[in-house]
Amino acid sequence: MNAPARIRTCSIWRSLEVVGDTPTLLVIEASWLGERRFDGFRQRTGLLKALLSDRLKKLVAAGLFEKRRYCDAPPRYEYVLTDKGRDVYWTSLMMLRWETGWAKSGNIAVELTHTKCGNIFRPEPACGSCGETVDAFQVDWREGPGVGLMAPIYSRRRQQRHSPETATSLMDEAAQLMGDRWASLIMRSIFTNLNRFDEIRQDTAIATNILSERLKWLESIGVIRQRPDPDSPAHAQYRLTRKGVEYYPVLLMLMIWGDRYYASPEGAPVVLFHKTCGKPLDPKVVCSECREPIVPADVEFSIRSKPA
Q: Is residue 15 part of a domain?
A: yes
pLDDT, residue 233, reads 77
pLDDT, residue 3, reads 46
Q: Is residue 266 part of a domain?
A: yes
For the entire predicted model, the pTM comes to: 0.89
Q: How far apart are CA 193 and CA 134, in angstroms?
A: 18
Using CA atoms of 214, 98, 259, 133 in order, give the dihedral in degrees to the nearest 10.
130
Query: Which residues, given as ranges, of the chain have pLDDT below 50?
Result: 1-4, 166
Q: How far apart are CA 263 and CA 85, in angstroms?
A: 17
| Burial state string for 60-74 with b = 16 or more CB within 10 A and e = fewer than 16 | bebebbbeeeeeeee
The CA radius of gyration of the chain, in Å to the nearest whole number, is 20
What pLDDT digit, counting tens, does each position of 70-106 carry?
988 888 999 999 999 999 999 999 999 999 999 875 5
pLDDT, residue 9, reads 73
pLDDT, residue 57, reads 97
pLDDT, residue 14, reads 87
Residues spanned by the domain of 269: 7-305
**Both ends of the chain: CA-CA distance in Å?**
57
Q: Is residue 2 part of a domain?
A: no
Question: HSE (CB half, 13 Å, CA atoms) of 200?
Answer: 26
- The domain total for the chain is 1
SS (H, E, C) the chain: CCCCCCEECCHHHHHHHHHCEHHHHHHHHHHHCCCCEHHHHHHHHCCCHHHHHHHHHHHHHCCCEEEEEEEECCEEEEEEECHHHHCCHHHHHHHHHHHHHHCCCCCEEEEEEECCCCEECCEEEECCCCCCECCHHHEEEEECCCCCEECCCCCCCCCCCCCCCCCCCCCHHHHHHHHEHHHHHHHHHHHCCCCEHHHHHHHHCCCHHHHHHHHHHHHHCCCEEEEEECCEEEEEEEEECHHHHCCHHHHHHHHHHHHHHHCECCECCEEEEECCCCCECCCEEEECCCCCECCHHHEEEEEEECCC
Q: How far apart are CA 137 and CA 218, in angstroms?
A: 20
pLDDT, residue 156, reads 57
Q: Is residue 1 part of a domain?
A: no
What pLDDT digit, counting tens, does each position of 198-210 carry?
999 988 888 999 9
Q: Is residue 140 part of a domain?
A: yes
